[in-house]
Amino acid sequence: MDSNNLVQFFQTGFHVSLGATTALIESLQDPQKREENFSQLNTSFDQQLATLEEKGKITEQEARSYLESMWAQSNESGSSTTSGAPTNTSATPSASSTNANTQQEIEELTEQIAALRTELEKQRQSK
């Protein structure tokens, strides 16, 4: 198997897993999305995979954008701190707690994705 094909395979698997996680979370949070996702179960397996892959790509782009904006904000606050500008120490604990919450959410989502990947692999092996 060509290394490019292998990378593409894993990237597609990641996007499908991420899309499935996103669809699951949407289904849990919004009854309308739940009905929409259940109605898509009648479509072909290939079409479902393509839909989940696309949803995963979109989610990945949104996550990257969010992380890049957080990174830019932390760099801006870091550059203003090093330039000698006064800092507001009362804002620091809330920022660190927000970062801790965000980190915890990322870890939980990563665990969910890993569980979904494992489940998909088990299903593939059983067929």
Distance CA 28, CA 25 (A): 5
Cβ 60 vs Cβ 27: under 8 Å: no
For residue 83, the model assigns a pLDDT of 46
CA angle 51, 53, 59 (to 5 degrees): 105
Low-confidence ranges of the chain (pLDDT < 70): 1-2, 78-98
For residue 86, the model assigns a pLDDT of 46
For residue 90, the model assigns a pLDDT of 43
**Entry pTM:** 0.47
Segment 52-75, tens digit of pLDDT: 889 889 988 998 899 999 888 888
For residue 72, the model assigns a pLDDT of 87
Which structure tokens are listed for 78? Answer: 């870091």
Cβ 15 vs Cβ 53: under 8 Å: yes
Nearest to 112 by CA among 24, 30, 52, 38: 24
